[in-house]
Structure 1
Amino acid sequence: MKTIVSAAALLAASLFAIPASAENLVLYTSQPNEDAQATVDGFMAANPDIKVDWVRDGTPKIMAKLQAEIEAGNPVADVLLIADTVTLERLKEAGKLMAYKSPEAANYDASLFDADGYYYSTKLITTGIIYNTSASLKPTSWKDLTKPEAKGLVTMPSPLTSGAALIHAQTLAGVDGLGWDFYKDLAANGATAAGGNGGILKAVASGEKAYGMIVDYMPIREKAKGAPVEFV
């Protein structure tokens, strides 16, 4: 059975583990479409003899597709670029990943990649609060999203769609003073959870919602382009 080269979100180094004779690679990724295309274009520019086909979706959906393929004995992906190391560690334990000792790893903190070379991190994903600059409440903490001023105005990505949202929910659920009670309070305050991070950005930037939970780079990048958003 084919094993998969993974990147917990160091794709270039991982791709170099593919035999030079390979003419086509299939990438499964949870990157936004624009970023995924830029990643593939950059690799193909450096490796013009290799064509990369890619499939993009949120980490949970990408993993459901891949797991179904594995169970059928025909995993299609050659390279995996997803949102969390927890999933990659499980794949490693199941013997589904190929180890590769990247020479680039010497430039990174050892905590950012697997010691055996089964996966490498390309970025740290920080989840925070995005808010529209016209919002009356300027949030400084998670609990601010449960205040009356934010009632019906909060949105977040669904853990069923976004791997980052799944890890974030699991993390906050274990934090003293927040936990599942925080999520119950959000629900009681009319917060909604649906789709991925891109939809959250669009909803808050357009003013449809005033506040949202989101991965850091999206609002930071859009604010630099002039969007009426701030990131906490």
Structure 2
Amino acid sequence: MKNLKKFAALGLSAAMVLSLAACGSGTKNTTTDTTAAGTEEAAKTEAAGDTEAAGDKAAAGGDVDKSQKLIIYTNSGSNGRDAWLKEKAGTAGYNVEVVQIQGGDLANRIIAEKNNPQADMVFGLNSIEYEKLKTESVLDQWEPSWAGDVDMTLGDKDGYYYPIVIQPLVNMMNADLQNPPKDYTDLVNPEWKDQYTILNFGGGTGKTILASLLVRYRDDNGEYGISDEGWDFVKNWIQNGHMEVQGEDYVGNAISGTVPITEMWGSGVLQNQTERDYKFQIMVPEVGVPYVTEQMAMITGSKKRDLAVDFANWFGSADVQAEWMNQFGTIPCQPKAVEEAPADIKEFMDQVHPQDMDWAFVAANIDQWVEKCELEFLQ
């Protein structure tokens, strides 16, 4: 059980995290993002017929009306998660629309809709993105029934968002790759030219891994807090690698050996191993890998607040999170759910360990880091 305790004890080391892992774009496994126009039209139709009955019933101590459509934004709906959640929620009596939006764009989408919110709740983002949303006053305070079950050092002390899933971010590699790299610092060598896929920096995985490299070269007198050596390294890492191309099957490329190394979030590794009947090698630098924590929150302006909280109570419960884990290889924040982890998840948990990162420093600089890399280093 040592491996389970290791994840349960992440505490503050994972409390401040970047955009969620399970939000890579481009792989053929990834569900296509719902278009903004389609989502807005659906939301407006629902809003027109909404009577706020759910809120009235809940305030009076009655049951909420689960037949009302609940619109949920997430960056953790890829690889069939959105369809599974909709079906599973349906069996519990909920009528949900799950809208998958890439992590780097999701918070901006919610802020853009501040004066005309289209969704009722959001899950999958993390502390830094939620802190932006708090600043913009687009989240409501709330408390799920399971708040006392999870480690709230991973969540928000002010009660705006609550933790549900932990995601380690790694490089997974072709099983037959000889003398595989042990660290990102190896990848800048000529032998690995175009042999590793870097996920785009608009998504949470790519952005977080970029941050995990830059923090190794912190220099408070350097540009955006990074030394010249750090910027040179990241430039070489980007230009020596293969940047993700929209629509490509980068997981398949790793399996075939076309591009034998790719970035991936933890549950993506486990799910792809199961679905493709393939066992990847995992690169785990001595310094560790970045961990992110998926969170759940309520969007200000929703007329279905009580229904959304009721759904969150159900989705974040130990039983449902155990099912979510078994279906998609996630690592739940619910201790009772973690106790039921299958062998492959326990094995993965034993392989990885968290990188020590100053997430407050990351939060203060990540936007400038991404902008510099995109403008100066991408070819």
User: Which TM class, normalised by the smaller chain length?
Assistant: 0.7 to 0.9
Corresponding letter in the other structure for 1:64: N
1:175-199 deviation line (CA, Å, top 9, x unaligned) = 139843332121342x122268994
Taking the aligned partners of 1:92 and 1:224, their CA distance within structure 2 comes to 38
Calculate the TM-score normalised by the size of structure 1.
0.79
Question: Are 2:306 and 1:217 aligned?
Answer: no
Aligned to 1:66: 110
Is 1:135–1:210's contact at 8 Å kept on the other side of the alignment?
Answer: yes
SS at match of 2:105: helix
1:83 partner SS: coil
Equivalence for 2:201: 159
Shift of 1:228: 4.8
Q: In structure 2, how many angstroms separate the alpha carbons of the residues matched to 1:33 and 1:169?
A: 23
Q: What's 1:53 paired with?
A: 97
Q: Which amino acid aligns with 1:186?
A: W
Structure 1: segments with no counterpart, 5+ residues: 1-7, 10-16
Number of equivalent positions: 212
* Runs of 4+ that moved beyond 4 A: 195-199
Distance between the aligned counterparts of 1:139 and 1:146, measured in 2?
Answer: 10
1:185 aligns with 2:236: yes
Which deviations, in whole Å up to 9, do the C-alpha atoms of 1:81-124 show, x marking residues without a partner? 23322111111222211111122121111212112221112212
Q: Can you give the 5+ residue segments of structure 2 that lack an aligned partner in the other structure? A: 1-18, 21-53, 59-63, 219-228, 284-379
Q: Is the 8 A contact 1:131 1:212 kept in 2?
A: yes
| Secondary structure of 1:61's aligned partner | helix
Aligned match of 1:200: 250
**Residue matched to 1:27:** 72
CA RMSD of aligned residues (A): 2.7
CA distance 1:39–1:45, shift in 2 (3 Å): same
C-alpha offsets along residues 114-138 of structure 1, whole Å, 9 cap, x if unaligned? 1222111221221111111122332
Choose between structure 1 and 2 for higher RCO, CA contacts under 8 A separated by at least 6 residues: 2
- Among the aligned pairs, what percent are the same residue? 21
Matches within 5 A, 1:97-116: 97-116=139-158
Q: Which residue of 2 aligns with 1:168?
A: 209
The 3-state SS of whatever aligns with 1:54 is strand
TM-score normalized by structure 2?
0.51
Corresponding residue of 2:189: 147
- Counterpart among 134, 140, 164 of residue 122 in structure 1: 164
Q: For 2:136, which of 84, 94, 99 is the aligned residue? A: 94
Look up the equivalent residue of 1:211 and give its one-letter code: I
Who wins on radius of gyration, i.e. which is larger?
A: 2
**Structure 1 counterpart SS, 2:125:** coil
